[in-house]
Amino acid sequence: MDASNIIITVGRQLGSGGKEIAALLAQRLAYKMYDQELLNLAAKESGLCERLFERNDEQKAFSKSFFRYHLPFIGGENEMFQNELSQDKLFKFQSEVIVKAAETDNCIFVGRCADYILRESPKLISLFITANIEDRIQRVMQRRQCDEKTAGSIVREGDESRAAYYDFYTGKTWGHASSYHLCVNSSVLGISATADFLGQYIQAKYSKLCGE
């Protein structure tokens, strides 16, 4: 891994605004941001269908048992092959893509255990974004156009899935302060001001590399 690259990872509770904060950080620091596109990159690198990565994206229920899929080769002409894939293998493919992306430039990664995968990077800053439950539910209601009860269920289930995924693969505790360099409640300052605060934190830590 290129030791000169600054790597920012952003874990986030569902509805916390973590993705929006990561996008603002990427824009203000001129860093490359990776989120959903990691699934597409993993599919291209592995030759597997992107929907497999989407189906298992930060999801729980990891038994290490194998499940069988009929999958098309990328670039093949109506060719099909039968392959046994475990969720561990999908995680391995995605991890390889994350490591490869981190070698290219200063990057911000959203979720997907990137803080653990890139833990050997000498210039890693791992962040976690939380928010008050009321704000999270309101944000999900607006995004999903649903009622408060439904939004509450989405928030709880999303947190459970992300926690199970993270805890299983990292051996750490999702959302716990000891698992990250810095945890921030976005309800305190709001989305934009939280991004400003985190940008100042990053620049203070790596001022020379950020051009200061």
**What is the DSSP annotation of 165-203?**
HHHHHHSS-TT-GGGSSEEEEHHHH-HHHHHHHHHHHHH
pLDDT in tens, 1-43: 455 799 999 999 999 999 999 999 999 999 999 987 665 655 5
pLDDT in tens, 118-162: 999 999 999 999 999 999 999 999 999 999 999 999 999 999 999
pLDDT in tens, 47-82: 455 555 455 555 554 444 333 343 443 334 333 333
Q: CB of 162 within 8 A of CB of 174?
A: yes
- What are the boundaries of each domain within the chain? 7-205
**3-class DSSP state of 8:** strand
Q: What tokens does 212 get?
A: 């200061």
Of 159, 155, 184, 143, which Cα lies nearest the Cα of 25? 184
Using only the alpha carbons of the chain, give its radius of gyration: 18
Fold of 7-205: Rossmann fold (3.40.50)
Q: The pTM is what?
A: 0.80
